[in-house]
Amino acid sequence: MPLKKAQNGMENGDAGSEKEERHFGNGSHQPGLDLNDVGEQDLGDCHVSPAALAENGLGSSLTNGGLNLHSSVKRKLEAEKDYVFDKRLRYSVRQNESNCRFRDIVVRKEEGFTHILLSSQTSDNNALTPEIMKEVRRALCNAATDDSKLLLLSAVGSVFCSGLDYSYLIGRLSSDRRKESTRIAEAIRDFVKAFIQFKKPIVVAINGPALGLGASILPLCDIVWASEKAWFQTPYATIRLTPAGCSSYTFPQILGVALANEMLFCGRKLTAQEACSRGLVSQVFWPTTFSQEVMLRVKEMASCSAVVLEESKCLVRSFLKSVLEDVNEKECLMLKQLWGSSKGLDSLFSYLQDKIYEV
């Protein structure tokens, strides 16, 4: 089949941008693929024939059925891959997997590891909706079965993740409370479960604020590196919600009961240094060198044996797996009951409405 161009010509993001980006890693500028040169197919295995590429202007067909790529295309395809760790990443980064396509995350398959970046275009500040959580789950599933040794999770922009998208919650729960409360609670359950069951090491790079569910999932990961600009907050009770992401279990275990209660009940904010001193974060780096420090360490980990990394994680995590799965089920059941009741829903709406008026 001939390639079809996407409506916006992008695999990840909105309309293309020709501006230079600040790259994740060594800070150099490398040419990327022109997203308007290459079309896309539907989800599934992609098989692109030489004739289709020739038809799309990428080369000319040879007599043996092969393809002679134009020199400009060759140069683009041979360009060295590099990382973009900037808000404009969504305009320039293509996915390397031919059988996957995402709208609100970017997936890069690199040597020895898979890099997933939150880059939401349907919500503000990388807030989570069921659709975005489903994309992350699918990317985790792909990474679990490929030849990568570990997973790196980070985000585009100045905010790592602002938790659940509350405007989405209001809109959906207002339309059909019972149906949507079940659907959203199950989406959270499956999202968290994907982290619990992931067998390879998960490294998280926190470049900015991590709130709510975006902070709760951190103890489910194996290494958390944070920028000095990062801070952490889980104001569940403040916003009329019960804990999620297994934080009702992991936070007391890691932070101690007193501090965990302050975070879950009172919405206490932790700085990066405080989070590091209490064990929620592994190391804190200076913002200007954060991306370089992270990449240096990730590549060093990726040089280790895949079997050693996976078995080491199994030894550390195996006894916790069933406990975390039970906690996750109970937390999501509680959210479902809360959103399904008129009292719980009215309380949430009242709080969010007051916040809107304050703004």
Question: What homologous superfamily is domain 99-358 in, according to CATH?
Answer: 2-enoyl-CoA Hydratase; Chain A, domain 1 (3.90.226.10)
pLDDT at site 347: 77
Of the candidate ranges 221-225, 235-239, 355-359, the one whose mean pLDDT is the lowest: 355-359
CA angle 156, 188, 333 (to 5 degrees): 155
Distance CA 173, CA 340 (A): 9
Of the candidate ranges 13-22, 58-67, 200-209, 233-242, the one whose mean pLDDT is the lowest: 13-22
pLDDT surpassing 50 at residue 23 = no
pLDDT surpassing 60 at residue 116 = yes
Domain boundaries along the sequence of the chain: 99-358
Over the stretch 75-108, which tens digit does the pLDDT of each residue have? 444 444 444 444 444 433 434 443 357 899 999 9
Q: What is the dihedral of CA 266, 156, 190, 313, to 10 degrees?
A: -90
Is residue 132 within 8 A of residue 156, CB to CB? The reply is no
In this prediction the pTM is 0.72
Over the stretch 178-220, which tens digit does the pLDDT of each residue have? 899 999 999 999 999 999 999 999 999 999 999 999 999 999 9
Question: Residues 297-319: what's their mean pLDDT?
Answer: 95
Question: Residues 133-142: what's their mean pLDDT?
Answer: 96
User: Which has more confidence, 26 or 110?
Assistant: 110
Nearest to 184 by CA among 132, 229, 247, 227: 132
pLDDT surpassing 50 at residue 255 = yes
Q: Is 33 helix (H, G, I), strand (E, B) or coil?
A: coil
User: Which has more confidence, 13 or 237?
Assistant: 237
User: Which has more confidence, 166 or 283?
Assistant: 283
Task: Tokens for 15, please give them.
Answer: 């309309």
- The pLDDT-based confidence of 341 (bands split at 50, 70, 90) is confident
Task: Tokens for 112, please give them.
Answer: 């020895």
Task: Tokens for 309, please give them.
Answer: 């990394």
User: In percent, how much of the chain has pLDDT > 90?
Assistant: 57
Question: What average pLDDT does the chain have?
Answer: 79
Residue 357: phi and psi, rounded to 5, are: -65, -35
User: In percent, how much of the chain has pLDDT > 70?
Assistant: 70
240 Cβ contact partners less than 8 Å away, ≥ 6 residues apart: 344, 347, 348, 350, 351
